[in-house]
Amino acid sequence: MIERTVMRSGRSLLAATVLASAAMLAVVPARADDAVTLSLTIKDRRFDPAELHAPPGKAITLQVKNLSSIACEIESSELHFEKVIAAGAEATIRVRPLQPGRYSFFDDFHHETQGFLVVP
């Protein structure tokens, strides 16, 4: 009798685990291969290009190269990122999928250096 109860409990636990795993798989965010990769360079206190474009609803990967002889801090409160990039270094910044809009970013060390990410 105890063995039957233990077996039933074990099966219930297994079933609950399988259901929980299936539920977690159903809420997986966008796959990495669905992300859009955009390249951005910083040189002479300017972003190039100064305006980037990305489709709505896709995760974004920014590949940033600092070609300047000084460090920069690329930042955006709207896009929720902040990254210091040493002179001559590169960085990858991931941005969540976005709704249509015009999002600003800037170099916090040099506020005149500004750029935009446009999602049509």
Between the CA of residue 57 and those of 30, 51, 72, 78, 102, what are the distances in Å? 9, 18, 29, 16, 14
Of residues 106, 120, 56, 113, the one with CA closest to residue 78: 106
Residue the block writes with tokens 């360079």: 41
Higher pLDDT, 10 or 43: 43
Q: Report the distance separating Cα 6 and Cα 12, nearest Å.
A: 10
For the segment 80-96, the average pLDDT, to the nearest whole number, is: 98
What mean pLDDT is reported for the chain?
A: 84
The string of pLDDT tens digits covering residues 23-67 is 443 444 545 558 999 999 999 999 999 999 999 999 999 999 999
Position 34 scores a pLDDT of: 83
Residue 112 banded pLDDT, cuts 50, 70, 90? very high
